[in-house]
Amino acid sequence: MKPLNPARWLAVVALTAGLTVTTSARADSKHPSDTSLRGVDLDRATVLDLQHAMNRGRFDAVELTRFYLDRIRTVDRKLNSVIQTNPEALKEAERSDRRRRHGAGGPLEGIPVLLKDNIDTLGPLRTTAGSEALLGARPSREAFLVERLRAAGAVILGKANLSEWANFRSSPSSSGWSAVGGQTNNPYVLDRNPCGSSSGSAVAAAATLAAVTIGTETDGSIVCPSGLNGVVGIKPTIGLVSRAGVVPISAQQDTAGPITRNVTDAAAVLAAIQGADPRDPATVPGGDRDYLKALDAKALKGKRIGVWRAAAGDDRDVLATLDAAVATLRAKGATVVDGVTMEGMDEAGEAEFTALLTEFKHDLNAYLAATPGRHPRDLAELIAFNEKHAATELRHFGQELFEQAQATTGDLDDPEYRALREKATSLARQAIDTVVADNRLDAVLAPTNGPAWRTDLVKGDDFSGFVSSSAPPAVSGYPAITVPGGFARNVLPLGVTFFGPRFSEPTLIALGFAFEQATKARKPPQYLRTLP
């Protein structure tokens, strides 16, 4: 959920059937590029492939889970993307194997999942949001989306690192850094930043440390790390996935969503985690949506897609990737409306940031007050905790955003706040709804990100020339999907985003899948130490 400071704000089965087989059957290799388990390349295999392999007895959930745990122990030394593995993961996998032997199981049966560490879990898995302040927190119930994953048969593998407090603590900051987890590194070039705040989730997905991962977003923190790490991310419509049990920034914009290596997996995971939840009044009925039905390699044919070219700025690699994407759309039968604009988004961004400060104080105070255990009970106590533990919590960056939020009323009935939120949301929705209606579009295409910058724990993130298209769908509460689109300097991943109106996930998934199948743009990470 990586919002920016005010200055930055402006700134299936048929198509995926058949296992991906390699000549190696080793499951114990320590080399990062060896992702094969009994002849199945787990970097390329979908969750449907993994289910097929387990149904045929090629391997079972225990062996698959052990593969990922071993890989985390070895490969993640370079990446620092996992805060904690689940001590109960192998037992969960054993139970999954028993269900499979008895002919039972869910759509994600035996599939190991890493959760961003702001998603509540029970038992030995802590939920810290990357902060030492929550090491003593003991949630009384798991997040609704975790309950949904378990009902689907998934194995909870562990927790992924993140930008502490979803990067809503300080400005500047380094995306992917937390006091509990340290700094997460980009697997393509290790001294480059992974973007945030779902940095650990995206890095773990890219490095095949789990079958699939879950991230969260307020404004850009699913799509940006997915783009910079060469994977797929879906930021759902607000109300599709429950936020109950997720450490908040803002109930107006927060959502969880899948981060995966391919669109098939993202569709399968989204189908599993969505659904109405009494604990989150924003959620809507209709929890039986099957997004795998949207996977159509010919979905681009006959569609009208607008291109938000201005979002690319003047970055040559981003523009070249966008041009190549437009060429793919046309080659696959889509009508392209180039040069559409997102009117009013500068004003929306200014109002958004101020509104988020009030929402953060209100929503975080409510979360802390409702969470059992030994920890600060509100934002004021959290600020005091950080001051007391400054040697670890504040050793790189401050807590300016905490202090700005604390200075607000935290009152969601405050007329000034309500006017700002109404302005931000309405302008963002008008920007998308108007361009879609006026041009009769099925979706809008935009660049997801620019090249990853060098990580700097002194100066923080380098947003000079920053490329982002996350604000319109984030502020409006509408959906977006990012898919790999190309590379900068032939090494650093660049993504492209499809976004559209409320609850247009089936269309966006179809377009993303067709684009993915046409381009095959993703390449596995190289784990380079640096670039010249």
Taking each helix axis from N to C terminus, what angle separates 61-79 and 89-101, rounded to the nearest 10 degrees? 150
pLDDT of residue 10: 29
**Taking the CB of residue 528, how many other CB atoms lie within 10 A of it?**
15
Contact 92, 36 (CB under 8 A): no
pLDDT of residue 285: 83
User: Alpha-carbon distance 190 to 185, whole Å?
Assistant: 5
High-pLDDT (> 90) share of the chain, %: 92
pLDDT of residue 143: 98
- Give just the sign of the alpha carbon dihedral 72, 73, 75, 76: positive
Spans of the chain below 70 pLDDT: 1-30, 287
**Taking the CB of residue 94, how many other CB atoms lie within 10 A of it?**
15
Taking each helix axis from N to C terminus, what angle separates 345-370 and 415-439, rounded to the nearest 10 degrees? 130
Instruction: Lay out the sheet containing 255-260: strands in order across.
Output: 82-85, 155-160, 112-116, 212-217, 255-260, 232-235, 480-488, 492-499, 443-447, 304-307, 335-338
pLDDT of residue 25: 32
Contact 280, 241 (CB under 8 A): no
Q: What is the DSSP letter of 73?
A: H
Contact 203, 81 (CB under 8 A): yes
pLDDT of residue 332: 98
Q: How big, in percent rounded to 5, are the helix, strand and coil portions of the chain?
A: 40, 15, 45
Contact 232, 266 (CB under 8 A): yes
User: Alpha-carbon distance 255 to 505, whole Å?
Assistant: 14
* Residue 121 CB contacts under 8 Å (≥ 6 apart), including other chains: 115, 127, 139, 142, 143, 146, 156, 159
Contact 453, 462 (CB under 8 A): yes
Tell me the two tokens of residue 476. Answer: 């409006």
Distances (CA, A) of 420 to 401, 427, 434, 470: 18, 11, 21, 19
Selected catalytic residue, list 36, 131, 221, 242: 221
User: Alpha-carbon distance 203 to 413, whole Å?
Assistant: 39
With CA atoms as reference, report the closest residue to 457 among 179, 197, 135, 76. Answer: 179
pLDDT of residue 30: 59
235 belongs to the catalytic site = no
Pairing of strands 443-447, 304-307: parallel
pLDDT of residue 194: 98
pLDDT of residue 287: 63
pLDDT of residue 33: 86
Selected catalytic residue, list 36, 131, 173, 197: 197
What are the residues facing 307 on neighbouring strands?
338, 445
End-to-end CA distance of the chain: 31
| Residue 196 exposed, middle or buried by CB count within 10 Å (0-12, 13-18, 19+) | buried
221 belongs to the catalytic site = yes
520 belongs to the catalytic site = no
Tell me the two tokens of residue 333. Answer: 């039968």
Q: Which residues of 3-29 are buried (b: 16+ CB within 10 A; e: fewer)?
A: bbbeebbeebeeebeebbbbeeeebeb
Q: Residue 444: in which H helix or E strand, if any?
A: strand 443-447
What are the residues facing 51 on neighbouring strands?
none
Largest CA distance in the chain: 65
Cα 35 off chain centre by:
22
The pLDDT tens digits for 209-250 are 999 999 999 999 999 999 999 999 999 999 999 999 999 999
Selected catalytic residue, list 2, 116, 332, 423: 116
Q: Residue 156: in which H helix or E strand, if any?
A: strand 155-160
The pLDDT tens digits for 416-475 are 999 999 999 999 999 999 999 999 999 999 999 999 999 999 999 999 999 999 999 999
Q: Residue 92: in which H helix or E strand, if any?
A: helix 89-101
Taking each helix axis from N to C terminus, what angle separates 316-331 and 505-519, rounded to the nearest 10 degrees? 100
User: Alpha-carbon distance 112 to 92, whole Å?
Assistant: 10
Contact 164, 131 (CB under 8 A): yes
User: Alpha-carbon distance 255 to 270, whole Å?
Assistant: 12
Separate counts of helices (H) and strands (E) for the chain: 17, 15
Tell me the two tokens of residue 27. Answer: 């499951």
